[in-house]
Amino acid sequence: MAKTKKQQQKPQITPKREVDVYFETFDRQFQHPVNRVIQYLAIPVFSFAVLGLVWMIPFPEIGFLKKNGYDTFLNWGSFFIAGMIYYYLRLATTLSYAVLLTVGVFSFFIVRLEYVEQAGGPAVWMVCTLLLLMSFLVLYLGKRMERNPVPFGSFLRMLTLGPIWLWHFVFKKLNIPY
């Protein structure tokens, strides 16, 4: 007996990407509406603070860079940004571009904070430490609002992937594939 075309064709199941599995896990674990609002506000603050703290770690002077005036453009934040964007690029290319745009905005404000510090204002590392502690505390309290306990490891992964997770909501709303 001859098989029809439908019987011959097996449905192709495309495996889920790693990033989609993470996003689905976060969506299941972080459902409380107040916690979602907390995340939308606190994750960018947390990310900004981490970048600011890494940015402010003293970078060794490199002779030929200093001689040519390029020493101000290289710091530990540059390497942190490169590593972060590379990691996000491997997970979701389009989302990594959006995060790169966000990092550019963050970098602008970190440099502004450096100017404020030079003018006699508070040290950038102190501002970023305060922002980091406050945002982490608020995010942790939000985590505790969830009906089912969220494992701490999943909470830390959410902090790591938070920037692209937030951007994925924007991309979904605009029907942009990521």
Per-domain boundaries in the chain:
37-57+75-178
Q: Determine if the pTM surpasses 0.85.
A: no
pLDDT above 70 (res 133)? yes
Mean pLDDT of 137-149: 90
Q: Is the pLDDT of residue 98 over 90?
A: yes
> Any idea what DSSP says for residue 147?
S
Express as a percent the part of the chain with pLDDT over 90: 63
Q: Is the pLDDT of residue 160 over 70?
A: yes
> Please, which pLDDT band fits residue 172 given cuts at 50, 70 and 90?
very high
Q: Minimal CA–CA distance to 43: which of 145, 163, 170, 172? A: 163
Average pLDDT over residues 134-161: 89
Residue 75 contacts residue 81 (beta carbons within 8 Å): no
3-state secondary structure of 83: helix
Selection from 38, 30, 152, 18 nearest residue 87 by Cα: 18
Average pLDDT, the chain: 88
The pLDDT of residue 155: 84
What confidence score (pLDDT) does residue 6 get? 56
pLDDT beyond 60 at 64: no
Cβ contact 25:154 at 8 Å: yes
Mean pLDDT score, 22-41: 91
Nearest residue to 127 via CA among 139, 142, 115 = 115
- Maximum CA pair distance of the chain? 87
